[in-house]
């Protein structure tokens, strides 16, 4: 009997995929302390994990592990170097969350452009005259810089084109298929000319603080910055300083350097910042799809047919 260690709950229909197998069982772990994970991992053939940090010691103790199946597309909570050293593949869910995240990106972009948070609060407290104090932005014919052109970036491009936006792309690792999209040779060139910038990158040593003081200084006055990828890609101290100058029209954030974000985070004090609680992919449809793909990756690894296209480190296969 094979065992899948399920770290953090998954969608019930995803767990039914395991129940349908008579050669595989699972153990659900809700206490994600290192001590508790270590107590249950030794006999696991595969593990699934959502947002908690996977301890290095857990990988070292999981002698039977055939895969770490991550419920998502980011993997900064997984010690990839140790996975590589031990020859354990790290599998992701692929494009199943791309629609939900791209929709949230457009929502934050439009809310920032139209000053949704400011007007909403003003009307609710009886200040209808706030309409004369602020001016929203039109997105039609504005330049949108998409930084990172994977599945999510491509879905954002489709939706932004429907809004009449001029799409620019910066991604040193991928070339867009669409012939009418302009691919830029450098991030700086895009930051200088874009009206809206949206980030769709994993958090790696190379992307940490990709948007810092230097990059924020390059932005056009009254630009909009949106991040639905990972918080550490933006230097929040630098962003706070930039917001204090009044340079930016608006900012939309679904992610933060530290999560849960603390109420005293100075970023939250700016009325031109609209936020959500890292919830882009947390729709019912996407949670089900992510859960099922997470479990399927675990089962495929047990069966010896893991899809290399979904593996971060395919060299270990």
Catalytic residues: 230, 259, 278
Going by C-alpha positions, the residue among 8, 151, 153, 155 that lies closest to residue 69 is 8
Contact 67, 91 (CB under 8 A): yes
Exposed/middle/buried for 67, CB within 10 Å: 0-12, 13-18, 19+? Answer: buried
Task: Give the HSE-up count for residue 1: Cα atoms under 13 Å, Cβ half-sphere.
Answer: 11
Contact 45, 64 (CB under 8 A): yes
Instruction: Give all strands of the β-sheet with 2-7 in edge-to-edge order.
Output: 24-29, 2-7, 46-49, 68-70, 90-91
Q: Which structure tokens are listed for 105?
A: 């990106």
Enumerate residues 6+ apart whose C-beta is below 8 A from 237: none
Q: Return the ∠ at Cα 76 (arms to 223 and 2), rounded to 5°.
A: 140
In the DSSP assignment, the letter for residue 317 is -
Q: Which of 203, 207, 202, 245 is nearest to 223 (CA)?
A: 245
Q: Which of 38, 149, 150 is nearest to 92 (CA)?
A: 150
Distance CA 112, CA 138 (A): 11
Cis peptide, bond prior to residue 260, ω within 30 of zero: yes
Instruction: Compute φ and ψ for 4, nearest 5 degrees.
Output: -110, 125
């Amino acid at each position: 009997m094979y065992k899948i260690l399920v770290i953090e709950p998954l969608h019930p229909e995803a767990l039914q995929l395991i129940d349908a197998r008579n050669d595989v069982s699972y153990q659900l772990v809700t206490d994600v302390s290192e001590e508790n994970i270590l107590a249950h991992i030794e006999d696991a053939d595969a593990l699934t994990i959502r947002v908690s940090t996977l301890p290095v010691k857990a990988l070292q103790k999981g002698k039977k592990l055939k895969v770490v199946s991550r419920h998502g597309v980011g993997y900064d909570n997984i010690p990839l170097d140790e996975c590589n050293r031990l020859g354990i593949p790290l599998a992701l869910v692929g494009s199943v969350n791309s629609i939900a995240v791209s929709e949230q990106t457009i929502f934050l972009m439009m809310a920032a452009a139209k000053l949704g948070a400011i007007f909403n609060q003003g009307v609710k407290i009886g200040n209808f005259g706030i309409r004369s104090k602020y001016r929203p932005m039109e997105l039609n014919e504005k330049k949108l810089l998409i930084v990172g052109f994977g599945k999510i970036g491509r879905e954002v491009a489709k939706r932004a084109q429907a809004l009449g936006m001029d799409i620019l792309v910066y991604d040193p690792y991928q070339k867009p298929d669409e012939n009418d999209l302009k691919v830029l040779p450098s991030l700086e060139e895009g930051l200088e000319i874009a009206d809206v910038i949206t980030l769709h990158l994993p958090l790696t040593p190379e992307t940490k603080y990709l948007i810092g003081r230097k990059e924020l200084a390059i932005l056009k006055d009254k630009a909009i910055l949106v991040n639905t990828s990972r918080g550490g890609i933006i230097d929040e101290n630098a962003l706070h300083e930039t917001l204090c100058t009044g340079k930016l029209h608006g900012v939309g954030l679904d992610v933060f350097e530290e999560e849960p974000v603390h109420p005293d985070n100075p970023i939250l004090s700016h009325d031109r910042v609209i936020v959500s609680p890292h919830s882009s992919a947390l729709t019912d449809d996407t949670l089900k799809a992510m859960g099922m793909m997470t479990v399927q990756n675990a089962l495929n690894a047990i069966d010896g047919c893991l899809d290399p296209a979904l593996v971060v480190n395919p060299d270990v296969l």
